[in-house]
Each structure stands twice: as C-alpha cells, then as structure tokens.
Amino acid sequence: MKRYLSTASHKKIALTGYFSLLFYMPVWLLLLNPSDGLSPVLTLTMFTLPLLFPLKGLVQGNPYTYAWSNFIVMIYFLHSLTTLWVSASDIIWATLELLFATMMFISSTYYAKYRGQELGLSIRKKK
C-alpha cells in the first residue's frame, strides 16, 4: 500500500487537530455560544480536561499516546454529531469541531501505525 503522507506530516496534522480542539472548545462553549444550563467551570472541566491527559505524549511523539488518545477524541466527535442533529443554530460550530476531531482521529491513527512500525513495535499475537 502506498503512503501518501509521511509520518511527520501525520504528526503535524494530528497536533493541529488536537490543539485546535483544545483552544476551540472553550472559546465556542464559553464565548461564542455560552450555555444557560452549565456553569463555566463545569463546561471547562467537561470539554477541556479530557484533552489535557494526552498532551505530554502527543508533544513527545509517543505512538502509543496517539493510539489511545483516539478514545478521547471520540467524545468530541460524538458531541459534534449530536449538536449537528439537535441544534440547527450551531451548525458552523459543530462542523468545525467535527473537522478538528476527524483530523486528529485519522492522522493519529496513521501516525501510531507508521511510527510504531518504524520503531519496531507491534501487537503481540496469541500463540
């Protein structure tokens, strides 16, 4: 199978999606469209804190962190799809969230795969 992007390109795209989500979510939920029902502290805790867990490993380029951070990205993927479904007024904001989450998910997956191969890491097969 031919690789269209290098490992470094996948890392850059994944980090762009990651940092975009990290900065965009508080801006969207606190400034652009604040919720009447949730306090700002709860909003920050729910939508920013999960993104901080993989920060160190992503910046260091750890392929294992890129792989498991996809579980966290699914929160934002599902949030954006749910918002698109229920709130027509937030279509632009939810589409941006979906774009950032998709960028991070796809590039993180490929980075983890290709960088893991470069390092000789593999999933152990059962005997």
pLDDT one-digit tens code per residue, 52-94: 999 999 999 999 999 999 999 999 999 999 999 999 888 999 9
Q: Global pTM?
A: 0.88
What is the reported pLDDT for 14? 97
The more confident residue out of 107 and 46 is: 107
Residue with tokens 């470094």, as numbered in its chain: 8
Rounded to an integer, the average pLDDT of 96-114 is 96
How many whole angstroms separate alpha carbon 75 and alpha carbon 126? 31
Q: Provide the pLDDT for residue 120.
A: 84
Of 99, 9, 116, nearest to 65 by C-alpha is 116
Which pLDDT score, from 0 to 100, does residue 123 have?
Answer: 64
C-alpha 109: how far from chain center: 11
